[in-house]
Amino acid sequence: MAHKLKIASTSLAGCFGCHMSLLDCDEKIIELLQQVELSRSPLCDIKQVADCDIGIIEGAVANSENVEVIRQFRAQCKTLVVLGACALNGGIPALRNQYSLAECLQESYIDGMGLENQLIPQDEDLPEILDQVYPVQQLVKVDYALPGCPPRADMIWQCLSALVAGQQPELSSELIRYD
Amino acid sequence: MASFSIDQQPIEFEPGQTILQAAMAAGVYIPHLCFHPQFSAHGSCRVCMVRIDGRTASACTAPAAAGLEVENLSDDLQALRRDILQMLFVEGNHLCPSCEQSGACHLQSVAEFCELLMADLPFQYPRRMVDASHPDWVLDFTRCIHCELCVKASREVDGKSVFSLTGRGFDTRLVINAPDGLLVNSEFASTDRAASVCPVGVFLPKHQGFKTPIGQRKYDRHSIEQITEE
Amino acid sequence: MSPEQAQTIFEDTRQRFAGAADDTRLLQYLVDIQHRYHFIPPPAIEALQQILHLTRAQIESVIDFYSFLHSDQAIRYRILFSNNITDRWAGSAAMMQRLTVALHGCEDAGIALTACSGLCDQGPSMLINGRAIGRLTPSRIDDIAALILSGVELEDWPESLFMIDNVIQRSDRQLALSCQPAAALRRAIELGPDLILQTLNESGLRGRGGAGFATATKWSLCRQASADQRFIVCNADEGEPGTFKDRLLLAQYADSVIEGMTIAALTVSARRGFIYLRGEYRFLLEPLQADLQRRREQGLLGSAILGQAGFDFDIEIHLGAGAYICGEESALIESLEGKRGIPRIRPPFPVTHGYLGQPTIVNNVETLFSVERILQKGAKWFSEIGTEQSRSSRLISISGDCEEPGVYEYPFGVSLRQIVQDCGGSDAQAVQMAGAAGTTVLARDFDRCLSFEDLATGGSFMVIGKQRSLLDMLQNFAWFFRHESCGFCTPCRIGNHLLPELLQRFAEAQATGHDLRQLKDIAETMHRSSFCGLGSSAPTALSDALEQSPEIFTAGMASSSDNPAFDLSAATREYRTITETESW
Amino acid sequence: MIKITIDPVSRVEGHGKITLQQNEQLEITQARFQIAEFRGFEKFIQGRPYWEAPVLVQRLCGICPVSHHLAAAKAMDQLVGVDQIPPTAEKIRRLMHFGQVLQSHALHFFHLSSPDLLFGYDDEVRHRNIVGVINDYPELARQGVLLRKYGQEVIRITSGKRVHGTGAIPGGVNKNLSVAERNSLQQDIDQIVDWAESSVELMKQIFLHQAEWQKNFATIDTHMLSLTGQGGALELYDGTLRACDRDGKVIFDQQSCDDYLDLINEHIESWSYMKFPFLKTLGVEQGWYRVGPLARINNCDFIRTPLAEQQRQIFKSQQSDGKPVQATLAYHWARLIELLYCAESIRELLDDGDLLGDELTAQGEMRLKGIGVIEAPRGTLFHHYEVDEQGLITRANLIVSTTHNNQAMNESIRRVAQDSLSGQELTEPLLNQLEVAIRAYDPCLSCATHALGQMPLQVDLLDAAGKLQSRKYKQAGN
């Protein structure tokens, strides 16, 4: 029996829209899921990313936990596929880079409307927030970047189905949309 | 008529035309950003780099001459364009998802055409104020690519000098000629050509954003190489 | 500023410039205003708007472009330390530190860095309100601090502080020849334009600015261009880090240079000429003005020069204001026209469409100097030494790690080994040729020759001792180009902005394989696609190092990983500070 | 003391985790659901032009972007002085939103929760997922995928894209439906209604099959908040606020959404980036409540569409005393009733000629404040914006659905911890019960897919001083 490719996926600071676009491959996703083995992914209960053939990341890097996860993925996955504007240029979360972190926290937890009390959350179990939102490729090497918010399903499909078939994906301009 | 070739295809030209002008007249697309047919060449964006008889040069400034062999869409030139385009993407705040210029933005469409998948340089995320002082227009300066088309349009078409570039180097920025630097106190009028010539999303008409549905926007219908600028 | 003060400045400005209001002189007015008020006050801008019919934004954009002009506030003593690598090697950082400490809390003084001030043979150096001070030592710094703290006007400072030495270490036939005012000019009048061009052609003279374009050809093209007027410009914007030979020529051979300009004017029928003098050489302004005046009085400038009816030519001096790009000839012309120094699209070239769109010859100081030599002594005398493609000799400015810095004249074809030996740079690991934008020649290649065929130079020759870090030098050059890129084109504006930060990762030994690749890619993009020579040559030393000295980069790498360096603890520092603050 | 961390529980508007503390007797002394991510939308939207808001803020969530898009658009209607958008615009928006709720509910049930429900929470980890469902119940899986696809297509046709489109603009919409588009949607709608109906049936059977367990698991008695429509109808797009107490008695009703700040405040805990909303009159301790399908089906008096109304009555009959159904797992059932309601409503709307109309926007006098409230798939969603005279946003307040359930989710995992975990060595299936509880809420932690599944279960053994002594990961699979 042919070796089933192992795939992991996760979302960092993002909205999950890229995973949604992956599911927008519709019936084809059933086909794809049967051809691969899932490692850590939102679709299953496997908790840790193991050695994988393909890792899929969406979302930007905004806190210390994101940094840890992205580094784990890079270390464990042979091929890293990065989805979406947040991951590739910070996307909407990067609008926060227009302000300092202090200003953002101040607005949410001190000056916000309808607050009963005022304090900045801080707990040993909470990850530390980064000074700004960073794109993924400023931390780790990216093998395939699929832009878009989210990348269109046909682009994701083109990329993943080629990788699963052991081919080099062709991401031509007709598939590329940044918005 | 004299001719030269672009990617082996013969292109006829009029004396005085640049390579880019001749190509556009012949319907051959050379990716470009800061050039607009209504205005003199600027030469700043460097996206229209081509190879002319083995030498790399910008098509918007290079005069057409008989017998030239011009290389345009070869892999290494497209790669060079991607390297230039990604610099523009990391310089400003080009967040296409929430930009109302999406689908009608030259920078976006040229980059999509050139198959730029990601900008692999450190993003700068400039912080600059939005100028919404004018009743009809908002200016988002963080998207400016310094092409000076608005500067020229204001001067040459509108007969004013509302816009200037100031500063030097990476601090180069667009400013408005008004005592307090605000658009509303300049000579700018809502119908000025300067407002409609921007290839990116600096000039935003107020209250109009997102009125064109996805699928019907300028570059949804045709990709950029099929559209001639008006 | 009180309304009365504002009114005074407004009126004063109007009166000074309204008489001959000329918007091409905008930069000159601004330089003057800056000098007068220690900044450009808003009422002065208003006055200029009124008399020049320019918009406020147009004037402010010029102010913003030049680093010696300021519209924010008056600072009585503006001090700029030359940040050229040779000044740093000579200890400028410690001098700056010393002065900063001494002037701590003094609101009258502002201290910052500037690009090479052209005193590399007598560094470390500084500019104070545009006046140069070299040979800084702790005791001179203390003197300066004391003068500032006691509020002594700059004019009343001891002259000894401002002494500039002009050291000729080696003369060959050109420097050895004295200037006999009018000798060359008389000869030129005898010959007439055609034979002047023929003489220049036979001499093999090529432009000394660096590009090496044949001078006779440039002049012929200018002469042939149909036009109402023609202009002669002497490019004295000697900004290439490490070069100062033009400074010496302007100080000691000004007559030759001016005569070279006059010969050019005769050849192409130009009536006006400019010397574009870099702001850093402001101390040469008055002597040069005096030279010009003397020559006018001698009938060597003005109308009917040497009695020749119709031979009318005069020269004015324009000051730059801290912009390296203005050494590029088309940017220089923009600056002469009073604008920001942004290079123009070429073609057309200045030689047909230059100042005010008219044919203009822009020649380097040394080129014009050589013209005078050639006309004095003949083409054969000039061309009998040198190499096939590089006739005669040229001047080089030697600085850095050598015992005898100064100006040297060598016949073309001399080996670097010879030069290094002559100047006492026996411990050199390399030589930086042609400034920050030039090439780095390692000691193993010292058999290479000074010539257009092999190693061309604009005149800068910085000797790099074994004890120096090449990476440190690259960082210094990266700082320089970030400071000096005009910002017009994409690769130069952004590439030069990104490189210092990347190099810093290597300096901190945090870099990775990814960062190394990125350095190469950015350099390549800048080199291939920049609009002008500044951008395309800015990464030359970096590219040389990547190729010739890869070990300096590997030493700065934490890993060869494809992942970029990322400092998590730096990125979370702000959060920790915020959450540890009790005052929320 | 042993500390157990389930980290990350990503996707509740980002990332969350569960932490438990066990003492030496293995009793659970603390259980917390913490939100570990902070994005700062309220700040960074400041200074942006108001018309960007609907497009920009939908990026809060890729699973229910339309809900954010429309809540913001409704706020923008107020800003541009439009109290009533044209019928075409309103119906296009409603259609878009029905598509949204349909696809989101389908996704949650079929792709994420059905493995727990079909195989049990203690099924083998490698099998307990959508691939297991595809293999064991291929037709059900296919129906789930196609139901979701249909919802996404409704969104695409009305907003231009399946995820993060641009359909709604201040004062209306930017497109209507073409005849061809209408026809294409009509083609499959009967099938969709059928599948929706059979999914409710399936869920009902599952619930009733283990009724006792289903009714008790993670169950807590809470107040409930939702919008209701005309006459107390189930309403997803518009309406007034109604809150009922634990016994189903009205706390307030027919309250204008514009007054939400008089009704709801938020509390901040240092251990979570997610705030804790509460009913102002009842205070922090007593005022917390639940939102979402369970709250909506409990709170409403009837459903306008017949098939869904029938199902609602069956659902309500579970509670003989007429009190609200408080079973946490009943969220799943309520959710599928809403799925059916959406399918029926789409069928009805597609027959409405207004969808093809040309009047897309209305105009009015600019105002400086706008509040838009909508029922997102996971519950009531508040968007509040203030702008300056120039049209730039100066302030914003967003209370997203999942936030309302913050306290309830914490209470539910405490309940599970006490009932099932306390006094035991913790095993993966036991810990999965915590996830099953959270999952019932379908928290939009970038909106809860089976996402809790991606949490590595990290168990930290602490000494009495709270110092870490050892750490092990409860790993499943691999």
CA-based torsion, B81, B84, B90, B95: positive or negative: negative
Element (H, E) at C380: helix C379-383
Range of the domain at D222: 41-408
Q: pLDDT 10s digit of each residue in chain A, 179 long?
A: 457 899 999 889 888 899 999 999 999 988 888 888 887 777 776 667 778 999 999 999 999 989 999 999 999 999 999 999 999 999 999 999 999 999 999 998 999 999 999 998 888 878 899 999 999 999 999 999 999 999 999 999 999 999 999 999 999 999 999 99
pTM value is 0.95
Q: Which amino acid is at D245?
A: D
Interface of A with B in 160-179 (CB under 8 A): 171-174, 176-179
Decide: C66 and C29 in contact? Cβ < 8 Å.
no
Q: How many angstroms separate the CA of residue A31 from the nearest CA in chain B?
A: 27
D436 located within any domain: no
Decide: D307 and D195 in contact? Cβ < 8 Å.
no
Q: Choose among C411, C362, C372: nearest CA to C388.
A: C411
Of A29-38, B31-40, C174-183, the one with minimum mean pLDDT is: A29-38
Of A22-26, D143-147, D437-441, the one with minimum mean pLDDT is: D437-441
Decide: D292 and D405 in contact? Cβ < 8 Å.
yes
Residue in B98, B100, B139 to test binding to D, most D beta-carbons within 10 Å: B98
Using the predicted structure, report yes or no on whether residue D464 has a pLDDT greater than 80.
Answer: no
**DSSP for D88-150, written as a single string:** HHHHHHHHHHHHHHHHHHHIIIIIIIHHHHHH-TTS-TTTSSHHHHHHH-HHHHHHHHHHHHH
Chain B CB contacts of C518 below 8 Å: 120-121
- Cα D268 to Cα D282: distance, rounded to the nearest angstrom: 17
Q: Choose among B84, B176, B179: nearest Cβ to C491.
A: B84
Q: Choose among B97, B132, B212: nearest Cβ to D49.
A: B132
List the single residue in C with minimal CA-CA distance to A121: C579
Of C17-26, C459-468, D424-433, the one with minimum mean pLDDT is: D424-433
- Cα C488 to Cα C533: distance, rounded to the nearest angstrom: 12
pLDDT in tens, D207-224: 999 899 999 999 999 999
Using the predicted structure, report yes or no on whether residue C17 has a pLDDT greater than 50.
Answer: yes
Chain C CB contacts of B163 below 8 Å: 57
Of all residues in chain D, the percent with pLDDT exceeding 90 is: 66
Q: Choose among C522, C548, C542: nearest CA to C474.
A: C542
pLDDT at residue C320 in the model: 97
Decide: B166 and C65 in contact? Cβ < 8 Å.
yes
pLDDT at residue C83 in the model: 97
> In which band, very low, low, confident or very high, does the pLDDT at C20 lie, cut at 50, 70 and 90?
confident
pLDDT at residue A32 in the model: 87
**Phi and psi dihedrals of C113, rounded to 5?**
-105, 150
Q: Choose among D174, D390, D391: nearest Cβ to B211.
A: D174
Q: Choose among C473, C475, C472: nearest CA to C501.
A: C475
**Into how many domains does chain D fold?**
1
List the single residue in D with minimal CA-CA distance to B216: D160
- Cα D70 to Cα D383: distance, rounded to the nearest angstrom: 10
B185 token code pair: 């106190």
Of all residues in chain D, the percent with pLDDT exceeding 70 is: 89
> In which band, very low, low, confident or very high, does the pLDDT at D8 lie, cut at 50, 70 and 90?
low
D99: domain CATH number is 1.10.645.10
State the Cα angle at D229 between D226 and D234, rounded to 5°. Answer: 65
Q: How many angstroms separate the CA of residue A5 from the nearest CA in chain D?
A: 14
pLDDT at residue A124 in the model: 82
pLDDT in tens, D267-314: 998 888 888 999 999 999 999 999 999 999 999 999 999 999 999 999
Longest Cα separation, chain A = 61
- Sort C427 into a burial class: Cβ within 10 Å, 0-12 / 13-18 / 19+: middle
A71 token code pair: 């580094």
- Cα D421 to Cα D308: distance, rounded to the nearest angstrom: 37
Decide: D77 and D171 in contact? Cβ < 8 Å.
yes
pLDDT in tens, C431-448: 999 999 999 999 999 999
pLDDT at residue D225 in the model: 98
State whether B119 and A138 contact (CB < 8 Å).
no
Chain D CB contacts of B104 below 8 Å: none
Decide: C416 and C455 in contact? Cβ < 8 Å.
yes
State whether D130 and A26 contact (CB < 8 Å).
no
Using the predicted structure, report yes or no on whether residue D330 has a pLDDT greater than 60.
Answer: yes
Q: How many angstroms separate the CA of residue A16 from the nearest CA in chain D?
A: 5
D400 located within any domain: yes
Of all residues in chain C, the percent with pLDDT exceeding 70 is: 99
State whether A96 and D395 contact (CB < 8 Å).
no
pLDDT at residue D472 in the model: 43
Q: Which residues of C163-195 are buried (b: 16+ CB within 10 A; e: fewer)?
A: ebebeebbebbbbebebebbebbebbbebebee
Decide: D88 and D173 in contact? Cβ < 8 Å.
yes
Using the predicted structure, report yes or no on whether residue D1 has a pLDDT greater than 70.
Answer: no
As a whole number, mean pLDDT of residues C571-579 equals 92
Using the predicted structure, report yes or no on whether residue D111 has a pLDDT greater than 80.
Answer: yes
**Token pair 């052209």: residue:** C118
Q: How many angstroms separate the CA of residue B120 from the nearest CA in chain A?
A: 7
State whether B97 and D164 contact (CB < 8 Å).
yes
For residue C448, the SS3 value is: coil
CB pairs under 8 A between A and D: 244
Long-range pairs for A35-38: beta carbons < 8 A, 24 or more residues apart: A35/A4, A35/A5, A35/A164, A36/A4, A36/A5, A36/A6, A36/A7, A36/A164, A37/A4, A37/A5, A37/A6, A37/A7, A38/A6, A38/A7, A38/A8, A38/D129, A38/D131
As a whole number, mean pLDDT of residues C298-307 equals 97
**Phi and psi dihedrals of C245, rounded to 5?**
-70, -30
Q: Choose among A71, A101, A110: nearest Cβ to C584.
A: A110
Any chains having at least 3 CB pairs less than 8 A from chain B are A, C, D
pLDDT at residue C581 in the model: 55
Residue in B39, B46, B118, B185 to test binding to C, most C beta-carbons within 10 Å: B46
Q: How many CB atoms lie within 10 A of CB C551?
A: 10
**Phi and psi dihedrals of C226, rounded to 5?**
-80, 135
State whether B43 and C345 contact (CB < 8 Å).
yes
> In which band, very low, low, confident or very high, does the pLDDT at B83 lie, cut at 50, 70 and 90?
very high
pLDDT in tens, B137-162: 999 999 999 999 999 999 999 999 99
Q: Which residues contact residue B207 at a Cβ distance below 8 angstroms, ignoring those fewer than 6 apart?
A: D51, D80, D170, D391
**DSSP for C558-571, written as a single string:** S---SSPP--HHHH
Of C211-215, C217-221, D415-419, the one with minimum mean pLDDT is: D415-419
Of C497-506, C510-519, C570-579, D1-10, the one with minimum mean pLDDT is: D1-10
- Cα C372 to Cα C377: distance, rounded to the nearest angstrom: 9
Any chains having at least 3 CB pairs less than 8 A from chain D are A, B
Residue in D55, D392, D454, D472 to test binding to A, most A beta-carbons within 10 Å: D454
Domain spans in chain A, listed from the N-terminal domain onward: 5-95+132-164
pLDDT at residue D456 in the model: 38
**Token pair 């005791």: residue:** C139
Q: How many angstroms separate the CA of residue A116 from the nearest CA in chain D?
A: 5
D389 located within any domain: yes
- Report the mean per-residue pLDDT for chain D: 88
List the single residue in A with minimal CA-CA distance to D125: A45
As a whole number, mean pLDDT of residues C201-230 equals 95
pLDDT in tens, D240-253: 999 999 999 999 99
- Report the mean per-residue pLDDT for chain C: 96
Query: Strands (DSSP E) along C438-486, which ranges?
Result: 440-442, 460-465
State whether C584 and A100 contact (CB < 8 Å).
no
Please tell me the CATH code under which domain A5-95+132-164 is placed. Answer: 3.40.50.700
As a whole number, mean pLDDT of residues B24-37 equals 96
- Cα D166 to Cα B211: distance, rounded to the nearest angstrom: 9
Decide: C475 and C503 in contact? Cβ < 8 Å.
yes
Q: How many angstroms separate the CA of residue C490 from the nearest CA in chain B?
A: 5
CATH 2.60.40.420 fits B83-222, yes or no: no
Chain A CB contacts of B119 below 8 Å: 88-89
Chain A CB contacts of B98 below 8 Å: 92, 95
pLDDT at residue D34 in the model: 77
State whether D44 and A95 contact (CB < 8 Å).
yes
Domains B3-73 and B83-222 share a fold: no
State whether B169 and C487 contact (CB < 8 Å).
yes
Cis peptide before C124 (omega within 30 of 0): yes
Using the predicted structure, report yes or no on whether residue D447 has a pLDDT greater than 70.
Answer: no
**Token pair 């202090």: residue:** A102
Q: Which fold has domain B3-73?
A: Ubiquitin-like (UB roll) (3.10.20)
Q: Choose among B143, B42, B85: nearest CA to C494.
A: B85
C493 at interface of B, judged by CB pairs closer than 8 A: yes
Q: Choose among D49, D55, D161: nearest Cβ to B138.
A: D49
Name the interface residues of D facing B (CB cutoff 8 Å). 47-49, 51-52, 54-56, 59, 80, 159-161, 164-167, 169-170, 174-175, 388, 390-392
State whether C564 and A110 contact (CB < 8 Å).
no
Q: Which residue has the higher pLDDT, A10 or C428?
A: C428
pLDDT in tens, D391-429: 999 999 999 888 899 999 999 989 998 888 877 777 777
Q: How many angstroms separate the CA of residue B118 from the nearest CA in chain A?
A: 6
Q: How many CB atoms lie within 10 A of CB C323?
A: 28
Any chains having at least 3 CB pairs less than 8 A from chain A are B, C, D
- Cα B86 to Cα C521: distance, rounded to the nearest angstrom: 12
ipTM for the complex?
0.94
Chain B CB contacts of C491 below 8 Å: 46, 84, 87
Query: Strands (DSSP E) along B3-150, which ranges?
Result: 3-6, 9-12, 49-52, 55-58, 69-71, 130-131, 137-140
Using the predicted structure, report yes or no on whether residue D60 has a pLDDT greater than 70.
Answer: yes
Q: How many angstroms separate the CA of residue A147 from the nearest CA in chain B?
A: 6
pLDDT in tens, C102-136: 999 999 999 999 999 999 999 999 999 999 999 99
A91 at interface of B, judged by CB pairs closer than 8 A: yes
D431 located within any domain: no
Using the predicted structure, report yes or no on whether residue D465 has a pLDDT greater than 60.
Answer: no
As a whole number, mean pLDDT of residues C309-326 equals 97
Element (H, E) at D384: strand D379-387
Residue in B123, B223, B226 to test binding to A, most A beta-carbons within 10 Å: B123
D175 token code pair: 């497109």
pLDDT in tens, D165-186: 999 999 999 999 999 999 999 9
pLDDT at residue C498 in the model: 98
Q: Which residue has the higher pLDDT, D164 or D464?
A: D164
List the single residue in A with minimal CA-CA distance to D62: A17
Using the predicted structure, report yes or no on whether residue C209 has a pLDDT greater than 70.
Answer: yes
